[in-house]
Structure 1
Amino acid sequence: MADSQPLRIGFVPEHFSTPLYFAQKYFGLSATLIPFPSGTGHMITAIRSGEIDVGIGLTEAWVAGLGKEDTPGDGGYRIVGTYVETPLCWAISTGAKRPEITSVSSLKGSKIGISRLGSGSQVMGYVLADQQGWLVPGESPYADFVILQTFLNLRNAVNDGTADFFMWEHFTSKRYYDSGEIRRVGEIYTPWSSWKIVAANGLLPGGNPEARLQDLFKKLDEGVRYFGEHQDEAVKYISTELDYSEADATEWLRTVEFAKKTEGVDLKVIQSCVNILQKAGVLKEGKGLQPESMLAKGLGAQFPE
Protein backbone atom coordinates (compact mmCIF):
# COMPACT_ATOMS: atom_id res chain seq x y z
CA MET A 1 0.00 0.00 0.00
CA ALA A 2 1.63 3.20 -1.15
CA ASP A 3 2.22 6.00 1.31
CA SER A 4 0.61 8.42 -1.15
CA GLN A 5 -2.85 6.89 -0.78
CA PRO A 6 -5.11 8.60 1.80
CA LEU A 7 -5.74 6.54 4.89
CA ARG A 8 -9.19 5.00 5.17
CA ILE A 9 -10.25 5.78 8.75
CA GLY A 10 -13.22 4.12 10.37
CA PHE A 11 -15.02 6.15 13.03
CA VAL A 12 -18.30 6.26 14.93
CA PRO A 13 -20.35 9.27 13.69
CA GLU A 14 -21.11 10.64 17.13
CA HIS A 15 -19.98 13.66 19.16
CA PHE A 16 -16.61 12.05 19.91
CA SER A 17 -15.69 12.35 16.21
CA THR A 18 -15.52 16.17 16.34
CA PRO A 19 -11.71 16.50 16.72
CA LEU A 20 -11.28 14.12 13.78
CA TYR A 21 -13.57 16.36 11.71
CA PHE A 22 -11.54 19.43 12.73
CA ALA A 23 -8.27 17.63 11.87
CA GLN A 24 -9.47 17.13 8.33
CA LYS A 25 -11.20 20.49 7.91
CA TYR A 26 -8.48 22.76 9.29
CA PHE A 27 -5.20 20.82 9.35
CA GLY A 28 -5.15 18.93 6.07
CA LEU A 29 -5.55 15.38 7.34
CA SER A 30 -5.33 13.27 4.18
CA ALA A 31 -7.91 10.58 4.82
CA THR A 32 -11.17 9.09 3.69
CA LEU A 33 -13.43 9.08 6.75
CA ILE A 34 -15.76 6.07 6.75
CA PRO A 35 -18.62 6.12 9.30
CA PHE A 36 -19.56 3.00 11.26
CA PRO A 37 -22.81 3.83 13.08
CA SER A 38 -23.05 0.27 14.40
CA GLY A 39 -19.81 0.78 16.30
CA THR A 40 -16.43 -0.76 17.00
CA GLY A 41 -17.39 -4.41 16.44
CA HIS A 42 -18.14 -3.61 12.80
CA MET A 43 -14.80 -1.79 12.47
CA ILE A 44 -12.95 -4.89 13.68
CA THR A 45 -14.51 -6.89 10.85
CA ALA A 46 -13.72 -4.10 8.37
CA ILE A 47 -10.06 -3.69 9.32
CA ARG A 48 -9.49 -7.44 9.12
CA SER A 49 -11.08 -7.59 5.68
CA GLY A 50 -8.99 -4.70 4.36
CA GLU A 51 -11.86 -2.19 4.07
CA ILE A 52 -10.22 0.34 6.40
CA ASP A 53 -6.64 1.06 7.46
CA VAL A 54 -7.28 2.72 10.83
CA GLY A 55 -10.12 2.58 13.36
CA ILE A 56 -11.05 4.95 16.19
CA GLY A 57 -13.28 3.12 18.63
CA LEU A 58 -13.90 1.72 22.09
CA THR A 59 -11.03 0.36 24.15
CA GLU A 60 -12.87 -2.72 25.41
CA ALA A 61 -13.94 -3.84 21.94
CA TRP A 62 -10.42 -3.49 20.45
CA VAL A 63 -8.91 -5.37 23.39
CA ALA A 64 -11.53 -8.12 23.27
CA GLY A 65 -11.01 -8.45 19.52
CA LEU A 66 -7.34 -9.27 20.03
CA GLY A 67 -7.62 -11.17 23.31
CA LYS A 68 -10.24 -13.79 22.50
CA GLU A 69 -9.11 -17.38 22.03
CA ASP A 70 -10.59 -17.48 18.51
CA THR A 71 -8.73 -14.35 17.34
CA PRO A 72 -7.76 -15.12 13.73
CA GLY A 73 -4.10 -15.17 12.68
CA ASP A 74 -2.17 -12.15 13.93
CA GLY A 75 -5.40 -10.36 14.86
CA GLY A 76 -5.26 -8.04 11.86
CA TYR A 77 -4.50 -4.85 13.81
CA ARG A 78 -2.63 -3.36 16.74
CA ILE A 79 -3.60 -0.68 19.24
CA VAL A 80 -1.42 2.31 18.35
CA GLY A 81 -2.90 5.41 19.96
CA THR A 82 -5.12 6.96 22.61
CA TYR A 83 -8.04 9.18 21.58
CA VAL A 84 -10.09 9.80 24.75
CA GLU A 85 -8.63 9.71 28.27
CA THR A 86 -11.87 9.80 30.25
CA PRO A 87 -14.11 6.77 30.93
CA LEU A 88 -17.30 6.27 28.93
CA CYS A 89 -20.69 6.44 30.61
CA TRP A 90 -22.87 3.66 29.21
CA ALA A 91 -26.55 4.36 29.82
CA ILE A 92 -28.73 1.31 30.43
CA SER A 93 -32.02 1.64 28.55
CA THR A 94 -35.31 -0.21 28.18
CA GLY A 95 -38.59 0.44 26.38
CA ALA A 96 -40.84 3.32 27.32
CA LYS A 97 -43.64 0.94 28.31
CA ARG A 98 -41.86 -1.89 30.08
CA PRO A 99 -43.15 -1.53 33.67
CA GLU A 100 -41.80 -4.96 34.63
CA ILE A 101 -38.25 -3.58 34.29
CA THR A 102 -37.85 -1.48 37.39
CA SER A 103 -34.10 -1.42 38.04
CA VAL A 104 -30.77 -2.83 36.92
CA SER A 105 -31.26 -5.79 39.26
CA SER A 106 -34.39 -6.80 37.32
CA LEU A 107 -32.32 -7.32 34.15
CA LYS A 108 -30.67 -10.56 35.31
CA GLY A 109 -31.49 -13.35 32.87
CA SER A 110 -33.13 -10.97 30.39
CA LYS A 111 -32.47 -10.43 26.68
CA ILE A 112 -29.73 -7.86 26.06
CA GLY A 113 -29.63 -6.02 22.75
CA ILE A 114 -26.16 -5.55 21.26
CA SER A 115 -24.93 -4.01 18.02
CA ARG A 116 -22.64 -6.88 17.02
CA LEU A 117 -20.76 -9.77 18.59
CA GLY A 118 -17.54 -8.40 20.07
CA SER A 119 -18.88 -4.86 20.27
CA GLY A 120 -18.56 -2.63 23.31
CA SER A 121 -22.30 -3.06 23.87
CA GLN A 122 -21.77 -6.80 24.32
CA VAL A 123 -18.51 -6.59 26.28
CA MET A 124 -20.00 -4.11 28.75
CA GLY A 125 -22.93 -6.48 29.26
CA TYR A 126 -20.47 -8.89 30.86
CA VAL A 127 -18.85 -6.12 32.89
CA LEU A 128 -22.30 -5.14 34.17
CA ALA A 129 -23.03 -8.77 35.05
CA ASP A 130 -19.75 -8.99 36.93
CA GLN A 131 -20.52 -5.83 38.90
CA GLN A 132 -24.01 -7.15 39.73
CA GLY A 133 -22.76 -10.59 40.82
CA TRP A 134 -24.64 -12.46 38.08
CA LEU A 135 -21.70 -14.44 36.71
CA VAL A 136 -21.80 -18.21 37.17
CA PRO A 137 -19.05 -20.30 35.51
CA GLY A 138 -20.34 -22.02 32.39
CA GLU A 139 -23.60 -20.06 32.32
CA SER A 140 -24.65 -16.91 30.50
CA PRO A 141 -25.94 -14.06 32.68
CA TYR A 142 -28.53 -13.28 29.97
CA ALA A 143 -31.24 -15.27 28.21
CA ASP A 144 -29.99 -14.07 24.84
CA PHE A 145 -27.68 -11.61 23.08
CA VAL A 146 -29.88 -10.08 20.39
CA ILE A 147 -27.74 -8.69 17.54
CA LEU A 148 -29.38 -5.51 16.22
CA GLN A 149 -26.60 -3.60 14.40
CA THR A 150 -27.75 0.00 14.85
CA PHE A 151 -28.84 2.35 17.63
CA LEU A 152 -32.23 2.77 15.93
CA ASN A 153 -32.77 -0.99 15.86
CA LEU A 154 -31.80 -1.21 19.54
CA ARG A 155 -34.36 1.44 20.48
CA ASN A 156 -37.07 -0.28 18.47
CA ALA A 157 -36.22 -3.67 19.95
CA VAL A 158 -36.72 -2.68 23.58
CA ASN A 159 -40.10 -1.22 22.67
CA ASP A 160 -41.37 -4.21 20.70
CA GLY A 161 -39.96 -6.81 23.12
CA THR A 162 -37.27 -8.25 20.82
CA ALA A 163 -34.80 -7.24 23.53
CA ASP A 164 -35.30 -6.18 27.14
CA PHE A 165 -32.49 -3.65 27.46
CA PHE A 166 -29.35 -2.33 25.82
CA MET A 167 -26.42 -0.10 26.70
CA TRP A 168 -25.22 2.89 24.66
CA GLU A 169 -23.33 6.08 25.40
CA HIS A 170 -25.24 8.42 27.73
CA PHE A 171 -25.45 11.60 25.64
CA THR A 172 -26.32 9.68 22.47
CA SER A 173 -29.19 8.10 24.39
CA LYS A 174 -30.37 11.21 26.24
CA ARG A 175 -32.38 12.77 23.40
CA TYR A 176 -34.54 9.65 23.32
CA TYR A 177 -35.15 9.76 27.06
CA ASP A 178 -36.23 13.38 26.68
CA SER A 179 -38.62 12.45 23.85
CA GLY A 180 -40.05 9.51 25.82
CA GLU A 181 -39.06 6.92 23.20
CA ILE A 182 -36.96 4.87 25.65
CA ARG A 183 -36.47 4.86 29.42
CA ARG A 184 -33.25 5.00 31.43
CA VAL A 185 -32.73 2.24 33.99
CA GLY A 186 -29.20 3.02 35.16
CA GLU A 187 -25.62 3.55 34.04
CA ILE A 188 -22.20 1.96 34.16
CA TYR A 189 -18.79 3.56 33.54
CA THR A 190 -15.90 1.84 31.80
CA PRO A 191 -13.12 1.13 34.30
CA TRP A 192 -10.60 2.37 31.68
CA SER A 193 -9.97 5.29 29.32
CA SER A 194 -12.60 4.86 26.68
CA TRP A 195 -11.33 5.35 23.11
CA LYS A 196 -8.25 3.97 21.36
CA ILE A 197 -6.83 4.12 17.83
CA VAL A 198 -5.85 0.95 15.98
CA ALA A 199 -3.98 0.40 12.71
CA ALA A 200 -3.96 -2.53 10.31
CA ASN A 201 -0.81 -4.58 10.70
CA GLY A 202 0.15 -3.71 7.12
CA LEU A 203 0.76 -0.12 8.27
CA LEU A 204 3.29 -1.31 10.85
CA PRO A 205 6.21 -2.89 8.97
CA GLY A 206 8.62 -4.25 11.55
CA GLY A 207 6.41 -2.76 14.26
CA ASN A 208 7.16 0.78 13.08
CA PRO A 209 4.50 3.12 11.70
CA GLU A 210 4.62 4.28 8.12
CA ALA A 211 4.58 8.00 7.37
CA ARG A 212 0.81 8.27 6.87
CA LEU A 213 0.22 7.01 10.39
CA GLN A 214 2.66 9.49 11.89
CA ASP A 215 0.92 12.26 9.95
CA LEU A 216 -2.44 11.11 11.34
CA PHE A 217 -1.21 11.50 14.92
CA LYS A 218 0.18 14.97 14.18
CA LYS A 219 -3.06 16.16 12.55
CA LEU A 220 -5.26 14.55 15.20
CA ASP A 221 -3.28 16.28 17.94
CA GLU A 222 -3.93 19.58 16.14
CA GLY A 223 -7.63 18.72 15.80
CA VAL A 224 -7.86 17.95 19.54
CA ARG A 225 -6.12 21.23 20.41
CA TYR A 226 -8.45 23.19 18.11
CA PHE A 227 -11.45 21.40 19.66
CA GLY A 228 -10.33 22.51 23.13
CA GLU A 229 -9.82 26.11 22.04
CA HIS A 230 -13.04 26.47 20.01
CA GLN A 231 -15.74 24.87 22.11
CA ASP A 232 -18.50 27.12 20.78
CA GLU A 233 -17.71 25.87 17.27
CA ALA A 234 -17.65 22.30 18.56
CA VAL A 235 -21.11 22.71 20.11
CA LYS A 236 -22.47 24.22 16.90
CA TYR A 237 -21.10 21.33 14.82
CA ILE A 238 -22.37 18.66 17.21
CA SER A 239 -25.84 20.21 17.53
CA THR A 240 -26.34 20.89 13.81
CA GLU A 241 -24.52 18.04 12.05
CA LEU A 242 -24.97 15.25 14.62
CA ASP A 243 -27.93 13.99 16.64
CA TYR A 244 -27.58 16.11 19.82
CA SER A 245 -29.15 19.19 21.33
CA GLU A 246 -27.02 22.25 22.04
CA ALA A 247 -27.56 21.80 25.78
CA ASP A 248 -26.44 18.15 25.69
CA ALA A 249 -23.40 18.98 23.56
CA THR A 250 -22.42 21.70 26.02
CA GLU A 251 -22.86 19.37 29.00
CA TRP A 252 -20.86 16.59 27.29
CA LEU A 253 -17.92 18.96 26.82
CA ARG A 254 -17.65 19.23 30.60
CA THR A 255 -17.25 15.46 30.94
CA VAL A 256 -14.76 14.53 28.23
CA GLU A 257 -10.97 14.80 27.99
CA PHE A 258 -9.23 13.94 24.72
CA ALA A 259 -5.61 12.81 24.63
CA LYS A 260 -3.26 15.74 24.04
CA LYS A 261 -0.80 13.32 22.44
CA THR A 262 -2.69 10.65 20.51
CA GLU A 263 0.33 8.52 19.57
CA GLY A 264 1.07 5.64 21.94
CA VAL A 265 -0.79 3.64 24.56
CA ASP A 266 -0.09 2.99 28.23
CA LEU A 267 0.34 -0.76 28.61
CA LYS A 268 -1.06 -0.57 32.15
CA VAL A 269 -4.44 0.56 30.74
CA ILE A 270 -4.55 -2.44 28.41
CA GLN A 271 -3.48 -4.81 31.21
CA SER A 272 -6.22 -3.46 33.47
CA CYS A 273 -8.81 -3.86 30.70
CA VAL A 274 -7.69 -7.45 30.04
CA ASN A 275 -7.84 -8.29 33.76
CA ILE A 276 -11.40 -7.01 34.09
CA LEU A 277 -12.51 -8.72 30.87
CA GLN A 278 -11.04 -11.99 32.13
CA LYS A 279 -12.91 -11.60 35.40
CA ALA A 280 -16.11 -10.86 33.45
CA GLY A 281 -15.63 -13.99 31.34
CA VAL A 282 -15.10 -12.15 28.04
CA LEU A 283 -11.47 -13.31 27.81
CA LYS A 284 -9.76 -16.46 29.08
CA GLU A 285 -6.42 -16.31 30.83
CA GLY A 286 -3.60 -17.54 28.62
CA LYS A 287 -5.70 -17.41 25.44
CA GLY A 288 -5.52 -14.91 22.57
CA LEU A 289 -2.94 -12.15 22.34
CA GLN A 290 -1.40 -10.95 25.59
CA PRO A 291 -1.48 -7.20 26.43
CA GLU A 292 2.13 -6.58 25.34
CA SER A 293 1.40 -8.12 21.93
CA MET A 294 -1.68 -5.95 21.37
CA LEU A 295 0.47 -2.79 21.06
CA ALA A 296 2.88 -1.63 18.37
CA LYS A 297 6.21 -1.01 20.09
CA GLY A 298 7.39 1.50 17.51
CA LEU A 299 4.59 3.94 18.38
CA GLY A 300 5.45 5.41 21.73
CA ALA A 301 3.78 2.59 23.63
CA GLN A 302 4.52 2.98 27.31
CA PHE A 303 5.98 -0.30 28.56
CA PRO A 304 7.07 -0.63 32.18
CA GLU A 305 10.80 -0.86 32.73
Structure 2
Amino acid sequence: MQNQKIRIGGVPEHFNLPIHLAIERGEFASRGVEIEWTTFKGGTGQMTRALRNGEIDACILLTEGIIADIVKGNPSKIISQYVTTPLTWGIHTGIDNSLQHYKDIFTRKYAISRFGSGSHLMAIVDANSKGHSLQQHQFEVIRNLDGALAALKAQESDVFYWEKFTTKPYVDQGLLRRVGEYKTPWPCFVVAASDKILQEQPENIIRMLRTIHDSCDQFMQ
Protein backbone atom coordinates (compact mmCIF):
# COMPACT_ATOMS: atom_id res chain seq x y z
CA MET A 1 0.00 0.00 0.00
CA GLN A 2 1.38 3.39 -0.98
CA ASN A 3 2.00 5.83 1.86
CA GLN A 4 -0.33 8.83 1.93
CA LYS A 5 1.34 12.22 1.70
CA ILE A 6 1.08 15.04 4.21
CA ARG A 7 2.62 18.37 3.21
CA ILE A 8 4.10 20.02 6.29
CA GLY A 9 5.97 23.29 6.69
CA GLY A 10 8.16 25.09 9.19
CA VAL A 11 10.75 27.80 9.61
CA PRO A 12 14.48 27.17 9.02
CA GLU A 13 15.30 27.14 12.73
CA HIS A 14 16.73 24.67 15.23
CA PHE A 15 13.34 23.86 16.77
CA ASN A 16 12.47 21.68 13.79
CA LEU A 17 15.57 19.47 13.84
CA PRO A 18 13.74 16.47 15.42
CA ILE A 19 11.30 16.46 12.49
CA HIS A 20 14.11 16.55 9.93
CA LEU A 21 15.85 13.70 11.73
CA ALA A 22 12.64 11.66 11.73
CA ILE A 23 12.29 12.21 7.97
CA GLU A 24 15.91 11.18 7.35
CA ARG A 25 15.56 8.05 9.49
CA GLY A 26 12.38 6.98 7.72
CA GLU A 27 10.29 7.12 10.89
CA PHE A 28 7.25 8.67 9.21
CA ALA A 29 7.44 6.21 6.32
CA SER A 30 7.63 3.27 8.74
CA ARG A 31 4.21 4.34 10.03
CA GLY A 32 2.75 4.65 6.56
CA VAL A 33 2.99 8.43 6.22
CA GLU A 34 4.90 10.25 3.49
CA ILE A 35 6.05 13.70 4.61
CA GLU A 36 6.75 16.47 2.12
CA TRP A 37 8.59 19.24 3.98
CA THR A 38 8.59 22.89 2.89
CA THR A 39 10.77 25.55 4.52
CA PHE A 40 9.14 28.95 5.04
CA LYS A 41 11.72 31.70 5.51
CA GLY A 42 8.89 34.22 5.86
CA GLY A 43 7.77 32.68 9.15
CA THR A 44 4.33 32.19 10.65
CA GLY A 45 2.51 34.74 8.49
CA GLN A 46 3.68 32.98 5.35
CA MET A 47 2.58 29.61 6.73
CA THR A 48 -0.91 30.73 7.75
CA ARG A 49 -1.38 32.00 4.21
CA ALA A 50 -0.15 28.68 2.80
CA LEU A 51 -2.65 26.82 5.01
CA ARG A 52 -5.46 29.06 3.79
CA ASN A 53 -4.46 28.54 0.15
CA GLY A 54 -4.17 24.76 0.45
CA GLU A 55 -0.43 24.81 -0.34
CA ILE A 56 0.37 22.79 2.80
CA ASP A 57 -1.64 20.49 5.05
CA ALA A 58 0.05 21.13 8.39
CA CYS A 59 2.80 23.25 9.89
CA ILE A 60 4.83 24.08 12.97
CA LEU A 61 4.26 27.73 13.78
CA LEU A 62 3.93 30.36 16.48
CA THR A 63 0.97 30.01 18.82
CA GLU A 64 -0.07 33.66 18.62
CA GLY A 65 0.08 33.72 14.82
CA ILE A 66 -2.17 30.75 14.15
CA ILE A 67 -4.68 31.75 16.84
CA ALA A 68 -4.96 35.24 15.33
CA ASP A 69 -5.49 33.80 11.85
CA ILE A 70 -8.02 31.16 12.94
CA VAL A 71 -10.02 33.98 14.56
CA LYS A 72 -9.92 35.72 11.16
CA GLY A 73 -11.37 32.66 9.44
CA ASN A 74 -8.46 30.36 8.59
CA PRO A 75 -10.08 26.90 8.17
CA SER A 76 -7.49 25.14 10.35
CA LYS A 77 -7.09 23.85 13.89
CA ILE A 78 -4.32 23.60 16.46
CA ILE A 79 -3.80 19.87 16.90
CA SER A 80 -0.86 19.72 19.32
CA GLN A 81 1.66 21.71 21.28
CA TYR A 82 5.19 21.47 19.91
CA VAL A 83 7.43 23.63 22.14
CA THR A 84 5.84 24.19 25.54
CA THR A 85 8.30 26.79 26.84
CA PRO A 86 8.03 30.51 26.04
CA LEU A 87 9.88 31.93 23.06
CA THR A 88 12.52 34.53 23.81
CA TRP A 89 12.26 37.27 21.22
CA GLY A 90 15.36 39.35 20.62
CA ILE A 91 14.60 43.02 19.98
CA HIS A 92 17.11 44.34 17.47
CA THR A 93 18.20 47.46 15.69
CA GLY A 94 20.81 48.25 13.06
CA ILE A 95 24.39 48.53 14.17
CA ASP A 96 24.59 52.22 13.17
CA ASN A 97 21.10 53.21 14.33
CA SER A 98 20.85 56.00 16.90
CA LEU A 99 18.44 53.85 18.95
CA GLN A 100 20.25 52.82 22.13
CA HIS A 101 17.65 51.83 24.71
CA TYR A 102 14.66 49.49 24.78
CA LYS A 103 12.47 52.16 26.39
CA ASP A 104 12.77 54.29 23.24
CA ILE A 105 11.58 51.72 20.68
CA PHE A 106 7.84 52.39 20.81
CA THR A 107 7.85 55.50 18.61
CA ARG A 108 10.14 53.96 15.99
CA LYS A 109 9.63 52.12 12.70
CA TYR A 110 9.24 48.32 12.98
CA ALA A 111 10.40 45.74 10.44
CA ILE A 112 7.97 42.80 10.23
CA SER A 113 7.97 39.74 7.99
CA ARG A 114 4.22 40.06 7.34
CA PHE A 115 1.14 41.48 8.99
CA GLY A 116 -0.11 38.76 11.32
CA SER A 117 3.37 37.26 11.71
CA GLY A 118 5.11 36.78 15.04
CA SER A 119 7.38 39.75 14.42
CA HIS A 120 4.25 41.87 13.97
CA LEU A 121 2.07 40.46 16.75
CA MET A 122 4.77 40.32 19.43
CA ALA A 123 5.74 43.93 18.81
CA ILE A 124 2.10 44.86 19.50
CA VAL A 125 1.82 42.59 22.57
CA ASP A 126 5.05 43.96 24.03
CA ALA A 127 4.02 47.57 23.41
CA ASN A 128 0.55 47.05 24.89
CA SER A 129 2.03 45.42 27.99
CA LYS A 130 4.06 48.60 28.54
CA GLY A 131 1.12 50.95 28.00
CA HIS A 132 1.95 51.90 24.41
CA SER A 133 -0.12 51.58 21.24
CA LEU A 134 1.63 51.02 17.91
CA GLN A 135 0.11 52.44 14.72
CA GLN A 136 -0.05 50.71 11.34
CA HIS A 137 2.20 53.30 9.69
CA GLN A 138 5.00 52.21 12.05
CA PHE A 139 5.28 48.79 10.36
CA GLU A 140 7.31 47.97 7.26
CA VAL A 141 6.96 44.54 5.64
CA ILE A 142 10.42 43.09 4.93
CA ARG A 143 9.34 39.45 4.23
CA ASN A 144 12.11 37.57 6.06
CA LEU A 145 15.33 37.80 8.07
CA ASP A 146 17.40 38.79 5.04
CA GLY A 147 14.97 41.62 4.35
CA ALA A 148 15.24 42.77 7.95
CA LEU A 149 19.04 42.83 7.81
CA ALA A 150 18.89 45.02 4.70
CA ALA A 151 16.19 47.36 6.07
CA LEU A 152 17.95 47.83 9.41
CA LYS A 153 21.31 48.44 7.74
CA ALA A 154 19.77 51.09 5.48
CA GLN A 155 17.89 52.51 8.50
CA GLU A 156 14.60 52.14 6.65
CA SER A 157 13.40 50.44 9.86
CA ASP A 158 14.59 50.77 13.44
CA VAL A 159 13.26 47.77 15.37
CA PHE A 160 12.99 44.06 14.58
CA TYR A 161 11.63 41.21 16.73
CA TRP A 162 13.00 37.74 15.92
CA GLU A 163 13.86 34.62 17.88
CA LYS A 164 16.93 35.44 19.98
CA PHE A 165 19.14 32.46 19.16
CA THR A 166 18.40 32.55 15.43
CA THR A 167 19.68 36.13 15.27
CA LYS A 168 22.60 35.58 17.68
CA PRO A 169 25.15 34.95 14.88
CA TYR A 170 24.24 38.30 13.31
CA VAL A 171 24.58 40.05 16.67
CA ASP A 172 27.95 38.36 17.23
CA GLN A 173 29.12 39.44 13.76
CA GLY A 174 28.13 43.05 14.41
CA LEU A 175 25.35 43.09 11.82
CA LEU A 176 22.60 43.60 14.40
CA ARG A 177 22.50 45.14 17.86
CA ARG A 178 20.15 43.69 20.49
CA VAL A 179 18.50 46.35 22.66
CA GLY A 180 16.12 44.10 24.58
CA GLU A 181 14.28 40.80 24.92
CA TYR A 182 10.66 39.76 25.33
CA LYS A 183 9.36 36.37 26.45
CA THR A 184 5.94 35.21 25.32
CA PRO A 185 3.50 34.54 28.19
CA TRP A 186 2.44 31.25 26.53
CA PRO A 187 3.97 28.10 24.93
CA CYS A 188 5.68 29.24 21.75
CA PHE A 189 5.16 26.64 18.98
CA VAL A 190 2.18 24.47 18.05
CA VAL A 191 1.25 22.08 15.27
CA ALA A 192 -1.69 23.20 13.14
CA ALA A 193 -3.50 21.40 10.34
CA SER A 194 -6.12 22.35 7.80
CA ASP A 195 -9.70 21.21 8.32
CA LYS A 196 -9.47 19.50 4.93
CA ILE A 197 -6.59 17.19 5.87
CA LEU A 198 -8.18 16.47 9.26
CA GLN A 199 -11.31 15.29 7.47
CA GLU A 200 -9.50 13.35 4.73
CA GLN A 201 -6.63 11.72 6.67
CA PRO A 202 -7.42 11.75 10.41
CA GLU A 203 -5.55 8.52 11.15
CA ASN A 204 -2.46 9.66 9.27
CA ILE A 205 -2.46 12.95 11.16
CA ILE A 206 -2.40 10.95 14.40
CA ARG A 207 0.51 8.86 13.07
CA MET A 208 2.32 12.02 12.05
CA LEU A 209 1.91 13.54 15.52
CA ARG A 210 3.06 10.36 17.25
CA THR A 211 6.17 10.29 15.09
CA ILE A 212 6.92 13.96 15.79
CA HIS A 213 6.52 13.52 19.54
CA ASP A 214 8.55 10.30 19.60
CA SER A 215 11.38 11.99 17.69
CA CYS A 216 11.31 14.96 20.06
CA ASP A 217 11.41 12.66 23.09
CA GLN A 218 14.36 10.76 21.62
CA PHE A 219 16.15 14.03 20.78
CA MET A 220 15.78 15.32 24.35
CA GLN A 221 17.14 12.17 26.02
Range of TM-score over shorter length: over 0.9
**Following superposition, which runs of at least 4 residues in structure 1 exceed 6 angstroms of deviation?**
none
Find the counterpart in structure 2 of residue 42 from structure 1. Answer: 46
Question: Where does structure 1 lack aligned partners over 5 or more consecutive residues?
Answer: 230-305
1:46-195, aligned counterparts within 5 Å? 46-67=50-71, 71-72=72-73, 75-98=74-97, 100-135=98-133, 140-141=134-135, 143-195=137-189
Would you say how many aligned residue pairs link Structure 1 and Structure 2?
215
Q: Deviations over 1:1-25 (max 9, x none)?
A: xx94310001111100111112212
How far apart, in 1, do the equivalents of 2:187 and 2:125 lie?
15
Q: Deviations over 1:161-183 (max 9, x none)?
A: 11111000000111011100110
How far apart, in 1, do the equivalents of 2:176 and 2:48 lie?
29
Match of 1:6, as an amino acid? K
Match of 1:97, as an amino acid? D
Find the counterpart in structure 2 of residue 281 from structure 1. Answer: none
CA drift of 1:26 comes to 2.3
Greater per-residue strand proportion: 2
Secondary structure of 1:204's counterpart equals helix
Question: Where does structure 2 lack aligned partners over 5 or more consecutive residues?
Answer: 29-33
How far apart, in 1, do the equivalents of 2:54 and 2:135 lie?
34
**TM-score normalised by the chain length of structure 1:** 0.68
Secondary structure of 2:162's counterpart equals strand
Find the counterpart in structure 2 of residue 284 from structure 1. Answer: none
2:210 matches 1:218:
yes
How far apart, in 2, do the equivalents of 1:169 and 1:79 lie?
21
CA drift of 1:209 comes to 6.3
CA drift of 1:66 comes to 1.4
| C-alpha RMSD over aligned residues | 1.6
How far apart, in 2, do the equivalents of 1:27 and 1:223 lie?
11
Find the counterpart in structure 2 of residue 28 from structure 1. Answer: 27
CA drift of 1:27 comes to 4.6
Percent identical pairs in the alignment equals 33
